[in-house]
């Protein structure tokens, strides 16, 4: 009897060992690396630095994903999305009703549109009405808003820029930016021009402003992330990731990441959060 019991115990133990080995071997055989994934994004130049930071963080978590970002302007990004040439369009303004019907938009951040001047300019604060009158060409001299007796040089973004569309939509009402404005292709070019021209004024993101340029207060509020979060600054625009309705799971996963606590922690360092 003792011998039979011993044999049964060894048989049970042997079966357990065999099952364990089969499980290990089976798991090893089926664990294959994830195939590489490449995501293409195109659009707003103002969103480029934020998306680069989000993309880097996402790729650390998902090392099989590579992300290419082409900053060519909001309008071109939307055109590329409709044509199937990119997976995600970077849009630095609200979607129009037509775009909202045909695309899926996710606001991932909120950015101030700062009114930028040369650091030598004595003007520190403007009202919304004064900004509107300056950019429409009704106010021509800095002395009319507390500055020197000198002509104002208006600098604007190009047609099709999300920043320009958002600026005109939020502030200009029925007016358009004066035809006498110097037109530049992106925030970087705008910052460089203002840094070299003491009489210039322009608009753009307050993030990454070069030396020699500063933002003025608008209606006595500075364009800071806290003021954007609290909706106190008068010129705020969304940063939107636009996708097609049939976007694949990898595209949706990246958008979900930007709205996750980890993604919004990155957003909150320099911009207003879409989710608190």
Ordered by where they begin, the domains of the chain are 37-110+237-273 (3.40.190.10), 114-222 (3.40.190.10)
Tens-place pLDDT, residues 163-198: 999 999 999 988 999 999 999 999 999 999 999 999
Q: Measure CA of the first residue to CA of the last residue in the chain; give whole Å.
A: 71
Q: Which residue has the higher pLDDT, 193 or 26?
A: 193
- pLDDT of 30 reads 55
Helix H, strand E, coil C: the string for 68-129 is EEEECCHHHHHHHHHCCCCCEEEECCCCCHHHHHHEEEEEEEEEECEEEEECCCCCCEECHH
Instruction: Tell me the average pLDDT across 4-33.
Output: 52
Tens-place pLDDT, residues 72-110: 999 999 999 999 999 999 999 999 999 999 999 999 999
- pLDDT of 174 reads 87
Tens-place pLDDT, residues 30-75: 557 889 999 999 999 999 999 999 999 999 999 999 999 999 999 9
Q: How far, in Å, CA of 76 to CA of 201, rounded?
A: 26
E strand or H helix that includes residue 261: helix 261-267
pLDDT of 25 strictly over 60: no
- pLDDT of 2 reads 45
Q: How far, in Å, CA of 138 to CA of 57, rounded?
A: 46
The DSSP letter of residue 207 is: T
- Cβ atoms of 202 and 116 within 8 Å: the answer is yes
- pLDDT of 18 reads 45
Tens-place pLDDT, residues 210-269: 999 999 999 999 999 999 999 999 999 999 999 999 999 999 999 999 999 999 999 999
């Amino acid at each position: 009897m003792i011998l039979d019991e011993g044999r049964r115990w060894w048989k049970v133990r042997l079966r357990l060992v065999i099952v364990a080995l089969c499980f290990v071997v089976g798991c090893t055989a089926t664990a294959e690396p994830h195939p590489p994934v490449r995501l293409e994004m195109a659009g707003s130049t103002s969103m480029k630095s934020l998306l680069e930071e989000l993309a880097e963080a996402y790729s650390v978590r998902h090392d099989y994903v590579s992300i290419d970002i082409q900053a060519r302007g909001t309008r071109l990004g939307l055109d590329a999305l409709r044509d199937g040439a990119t997976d995600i369009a970077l849009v630095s303004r609200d979607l129009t009703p037509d775009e909202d019907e045909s695309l899926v938009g996710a606001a991932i951040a909120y950015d101030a549109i700062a009114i930028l001047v040369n650091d030598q300019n004595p003007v520190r604060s403007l009202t919304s009405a004064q900004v509107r009158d300056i950019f429409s060409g009704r106010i021509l001299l800095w002395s009319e808003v507390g500055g020197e007796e000198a002509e104002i040089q208006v600098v604007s973004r190009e047609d099709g820029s999300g920043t320009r569309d958002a600026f005109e939509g939020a502030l200009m009402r029925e007016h358009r930016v004066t035809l006498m404005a110097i037109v530049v292709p992106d925030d970087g070019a705008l910052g460089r021009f203002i840094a070299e021209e003491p009489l210039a004024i322009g608009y753009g993101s307050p993030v990454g402003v070069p030396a020699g340029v500063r933002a003025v207060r608008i209606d006595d509020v500075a364009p800071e992330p806290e003021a954007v979060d609290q909706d106190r600054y008068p010129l705020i625009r969304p940063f939107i990731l636009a996708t097609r309705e049939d976007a694949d799971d990898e595209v949706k996963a990246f958008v979900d990441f930007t709205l996750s606590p980890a993604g919004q922690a990155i957003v909150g360092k320099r911009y207003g959060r879409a989710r608190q």
